[in-house]
């Protein structure tokens, strides 16, 4: 059952008369989900367009308002198992998207102009050593000017605006020498063309812009991805609530109108609208977004519950205890803002280099012009030489040194199952010396699994798993994942609170509680073998089986932890789960430092204490309760199965059931960071050699542009090495976390 939501504030009208809405969709796990969701929505009457973005999990729908209601779209998605929430793009994200499109247009204009001007320049270069007439050369120069000047005026805006802002603030940045070099080169080229000179440098200026815009756009694309998912936090909130008025009359109201002390009725499938205390009813609730614990909790009278949690079965009446910015979800938001602001003060390697580089470039060019004038040269010669110095020292190689390595390393990490969210994630990953893991969903698999499936005959396991497909209980969901045949049993019936049953070949089969399946004795035996595990029983005729369900360590967790420790990294577990569960995982993995039952604020406090002691923390977590800690850490990673807001504030996301991408990311980052420094060194060495030659007047702006391009190609070729590093050596995958494994760990 889904909450009643007023969608009208989220619906916009398109120029074609169609209504449009953006929806944040839950449960999008693979590319196959895209076509399935899009096709299902398109089959609705009146729907003209449905596009699902896999990266942001957003569905854009356009429909004829006369033939379809927006609620029908949510109902269709709900029926497919995908909860959808109306989404409105925040202003910051909208601005990021507009800037990315603008940079791409600038890059396209610069590329188009560079290709055409270069064609004309090649004709002039070859003609100068053969038979080109001065009139033809002047014509080609004027055509180049007609192409380059408007193209540079448009494509150079990102640098011109930034340089102007820096000058107004009485400071220098990398965009100041870029802008000065481009403007002077274009101005001098225009003067040379008007005076019928042999050389013009329109190609140098426009090629310079193209190279720099390529680096700028790649960097912007990495930054933008973080905001693309971060805005989905609003979708975690309920937009309406069912308030109980006098006489227990049920009234649907906006969440913003709730007050402390109000009584709210929560139905199965509803997301809790506010923090509160349960007054009546009983239901299993999914608090994974809040606590990180994937196992459902039975909420009963007197217990606290939190906004953002989802009711699974049963109904609840809760008394509101926190609204209007006082909920746990709001606390997480505030912690996120504070942590993100602190992290934003990190100064990247390229930025640190540019602080010294820009003043040196201006000083060298100015001294060159002054020196030539004092030596008796003409103003024309002095300016040409100064422009050559500006162009040859233009920070193109410096601007590409870091982004080029980032792009190559990001591609290599993508092939290893790691997606980067942040442009400077690689630099910070390379600096990490301490790894802090969340437990549930991070060191363990995101969903609980059957740990004793091998003890049950394959035929009985298949029947039990197929019968479990007809039940909504979380333990049944764990059993259902063992099914090879994904077709539910015909005429299966679920009995609330007990289990499910069906008649198979004339014999009744049951799954559910041990009492429902008459398997109490078997349950006692399995409970002794797997203490702490949840149990689900199966019965068919005389056959009885009891399955133990628990969180399982990721298949390679033990080997990855050992590999990280061998690299000299300190390891810690920081979890919101109960102490016994965290201790079991820590013992199984050999991690001595662990803490349990920690709230979001506690996790941030621990990370800040580690930072104060000089540690640079890599935080790996997946739940909403980890989001603030991920933002506060020096660098962070999240599994793709984590909450969307957690992925948004992580610097990298890894895919799959294995933990190995974390170790690969650390190794790749160390290698890439080394290459970044090598590229910066190459840029410095190039300038040390090229600048004296340019100052001496042996380099024209044309040769300077060629040298500048050569240095850019050199650092790009060096950056390609970031994609050919060796993978970390790991042992074979370990066994799942089990009492046997834990006993071995304790004995060791």
Same domain, 23 and 64: yes
Count of C-beta atoms within a 10 Å radius of residue 191 = 14
Full-model pTM: 0.59
Q: How far is it, in rounded angstroms, from Cα 512 to Cα 500?
A: 6
pLDDT of residue 267: 79
Select from 281, 311, 327 the last residue of a domain.
327
The per-residue DSSP string of 242-280 comes to: EEE-GGG-EEEEEGGG--TT-EEEE-TTPBP-SEEEEEE
Is the domain of 565 the same as that of 528?
Answer: no
Domain edge (last residue) among 166, 199, 232: 232
438 assigned to active site: yes
Considering only CA atoms, which of 686, 185, 174, 167 is closest in space to residue 386? 185
Query: E strands, 54-95, where?
Result: 58-63, 84-86
What integer best gives the mean pLDDT of the chain?
77
What CATH number does the domain containing 509 carry? Answer: 3.40.1110.10
pLDDT recorded at residue 105: 93
**Confidence bin at 392 (pLDDT 50/70/90):** low
pLDDT band at 55 (very low <50, low <70, confident <90, very high): low
Same domain? For 227 and 245 the reply is no
Q: How confident is the model over 118-163, as pLDDT tens digits?
A: 888 778 867 766 678 888 888 999 999 999 999 999 999 988 988 8
Are 123 and 218 in a shared domain?
yes
* Neighbour tally for 732: CB within 10 Å: 7
Q: Write out 304-360 in H/E/C secondary structure.
A: EECCCCEECCCCEEEEEEECCCCCHHHHHHHHHHHHHHHHCCCCCHHHHHHHHHHHH
Reported as a single tens digit per residue, the pLDDT across 563-620 is: 999 999 999 999 887 788 888 889 989 999 999 888 878 888 899 899 899 999 999 9
Tell me, yes or no, whether 215 and 110 share the same domain: yes
* pLDDT, tens digit, 9 for 90 and up, residues 326-342: 666 666 655 555 555 44
Angle (CA) 457-459-463 rounded to 5° is 120
pLDDT range class, residue 432, cuts 50, 70, 90: very high
Q: What 3-state class would DSSP assign to 49? A: strand
Q: What is the pLDDT, as a whole number, of residue 679?
A: 77
226/105 same-domain check = yes
Output the furthest CA–CA distance in the chain (Å, rounded): 109
CATH number, domain with residue 578: 3.40.50.1000
The residue with greater pLDDT, 369 or 172, is: 369
Give per-residue pLDDT as tens, 638-659: 887 666 567 667 888 887 778 9
Q: What percent of the chain has a predicted confidence (pLDDT) above 70? A: 74
Is 43 a domain residue?
yes
In a domain, 498, yes or no: yes
Residue 180 covered by a domain: yes
Q: Does residue 187 fall inside a structural domain?
A: yes
What is the average pLDDT across 239-263?
79
Are 22 and 10 in contact by the 8 Å Cβ rule? The answer is yes
| 610 and 499 fall within a common domain | no
pLDDT at 462: 92
Q: Is-contact 426 409, C-beta < 8 A?
A: yes
CA distance 386 to 735: 68
Domain boundary among the residues 550, 573, 608 is at 550
Residue 354 is predicted with a pLDDT of 55
Please give the residue range of the domain that contains residue 216: 92-232
- Residues 437, 515, single domain; the answer is no
Strands of 124-274, DSSP E:
240-244, 250-254, 263-266
Spell out the residues 6+ positions from residue 82 whose beta carbon is closer than 8 angstroms to its own.
25, 26, 27, 28, 33, 37
211 touches 226 (CB < 8 A): no
The Cα–Cα gap between 325 and 237 comes to: 12
Q: Are residues 565 and 431 in the same domain?
A: yes
Highest mean pLDDT among 55-69, 481-495, 597-611: 597-611
Same structural domain for residues 566 and 603?
yes
In terms of C-beta density within 10 A (0-12 exposed, 13-18 middle, 19 or more buried), how is residue 42 classed?
middle
Q: Categorize the per-residue pLDDT at 738 as very low, low, confident or very high, splitting at 50, 70 and 90.
A: very low
What pLDDT, in 10s, does the model give residues 382-391? Answer: 877 877 776 6
Q: Which of 203, 270, 275, 438 is catalytic?
A: 438
What is the pLDDT at residue 581? 80
Structure token digits, residue 88: 């409105």
Residue 355 in any domain: the answer is no
Question: How many domains are there within the chain?
Answer: 5
Q: Does a structural domain hold residue 741? A: no
d(CA 614, CA 663): 22
Predicted local distance difference test score (pLDDT) of residue 709: 61
């Amino acid at each position: 059952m889904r909450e009643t939501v007023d969608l009208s504030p989220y619906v916009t009208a398109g120029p074609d008369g169609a209504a449009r809405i953006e929806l944040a969709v839950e449960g999008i796990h693979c590319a196959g989900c895209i076509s399935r969701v899009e096709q299902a929505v398109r089959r609705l009457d009146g729907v003209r367009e449905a596009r699902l973005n896999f990266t942001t999990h957003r569905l854009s729908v356009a429909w004829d308002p006369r033939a379809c209601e927006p609620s029908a779209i949510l109902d269709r998605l709900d029926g497919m198992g995908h909860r959808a929430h109306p989404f409105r793009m925040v202003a910051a994200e909208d601005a990021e998207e507009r800037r990315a499109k603008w940079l791409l247009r600038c890059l396209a204009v610069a590329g188009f102009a560079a290709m055409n001007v270069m064609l004309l320049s090649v004709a002039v270069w070859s003609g100068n050593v053969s038979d080109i007439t001065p009139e033809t050369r002047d014509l080609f120069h004027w055509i180049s000017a007609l192409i380059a000047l408007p193209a540079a005026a448009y494509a150079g805006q990102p640098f011109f605006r930034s340089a102007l802002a820096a000058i107004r603030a009485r400071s220098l940045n990398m965009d100041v020498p870029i802008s000065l070099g481009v403007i002077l080169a274009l101005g001098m080229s225009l003067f040379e063309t008007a005076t019928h000179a042999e050389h013009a440098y329109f190609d140098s200026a426009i090629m310079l812009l193209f190279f720099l815009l390529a680096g700028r756009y790649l960097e912007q694309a990495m930054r933008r991805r973080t905001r693309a998912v971060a805005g989905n936090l609003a979708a975690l909130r309920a937009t309406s609530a069912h308030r109980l008025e006098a006489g227990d009359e049920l009234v649907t109201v906006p969440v913003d109108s709730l007050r402390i002390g109000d009584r709210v009725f929560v139905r199965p499938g509803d997301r809790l609208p506010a923090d509160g205390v349960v007054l009546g009813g009983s239901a299993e609730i999914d608090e994974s977004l809040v606590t990180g614990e994937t196992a459902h909790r039975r909420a009963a009278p007197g217990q606290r519950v939190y906004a953002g949690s989802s009711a699974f079965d049963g109904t609840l009446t809760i008394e509101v205890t926190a609204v209007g910015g006082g909920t746990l979800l709001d606390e997480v938001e505030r912690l996120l803002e504070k942590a993100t602001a602190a992290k934003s003060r990190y100064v990247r390697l390229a930025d640190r280099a540019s602080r010294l580089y820009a003043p040196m470039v201006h000083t060298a060019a100015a001294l060159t012009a002054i020196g030539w004038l004092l030596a008796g040269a003409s103003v024309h010669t002095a300016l040409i030489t100064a422009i050559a110095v500006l162009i040859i020292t233009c920070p193109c190689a410096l601007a590409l040194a870091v982004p080029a390595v980032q792009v190559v390393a990001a591609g290599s990490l993508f092939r290893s199952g790691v997606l980067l969210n942040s442009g400077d994630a690689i630099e910070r990953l390379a600096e990490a010396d301490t790894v802090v893991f969340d437990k549930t969903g991070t060191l363990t698999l995101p969903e609980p699994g059957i740990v004793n499936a091998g003890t049950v005959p394959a035929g009985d396991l298949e029947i039990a798993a197929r019968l479990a497909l007809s039940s909504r209980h979380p333990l049944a969901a764990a059993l259902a994942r063992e099914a090879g045949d994904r077709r539910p049993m015909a005429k299966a019936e679920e009995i609330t609170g007990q289990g499910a049953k069906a008649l198979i070949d004339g014999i009744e089969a049951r799954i559910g509680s041990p009492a429902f399946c008459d398997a109490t004795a078997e349950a006692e035996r399995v409970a002794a073998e797997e203490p702490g595990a949840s149990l689900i029983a199966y019965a068919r005729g005389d056959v009885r089986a009891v399955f133990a369900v628990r969180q399982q360590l990721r298949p390679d967790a033990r080997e990855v932890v050992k590999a990280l420790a061998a690299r000299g990294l300190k390891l810690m577990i920081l979890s919101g789960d109960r102490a016994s569960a965290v201790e079991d995982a820590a013992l199984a993995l050999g991690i001595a430092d662990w803490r349990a039952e920690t709230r979001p604020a506690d996790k941030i406090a621990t990370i800040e204490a580690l930072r104060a002691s000089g540690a640079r923390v890599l935080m790996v977590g997946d739940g909403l309760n980890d989001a603030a800690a991920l933002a506060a850490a020096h660098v962070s990673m999240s599994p793709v199965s984590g909450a969307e807001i957690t992925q948004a504030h992580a610097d990298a996301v890894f895919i799959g059931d294995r933990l190995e991408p974390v170790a690969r990311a650390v190794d790749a980052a160390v290698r890439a960071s080394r290459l970044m420094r090598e590229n910066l060194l190459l840029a410095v060495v190039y300038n040390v050699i090229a600048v004296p030659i340019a100052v001496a007047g042996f380099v024209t702006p044309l040769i300077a542009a060629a040298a500048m391009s050569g240095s850019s190609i050199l650092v790009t070729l060096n950056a390609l090495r970031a994609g050919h590093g060796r993978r970390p050596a790991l042992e074979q995958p370990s066994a799942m976390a089990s009492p046997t494994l834990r006993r071995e760990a304790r004995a060791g």
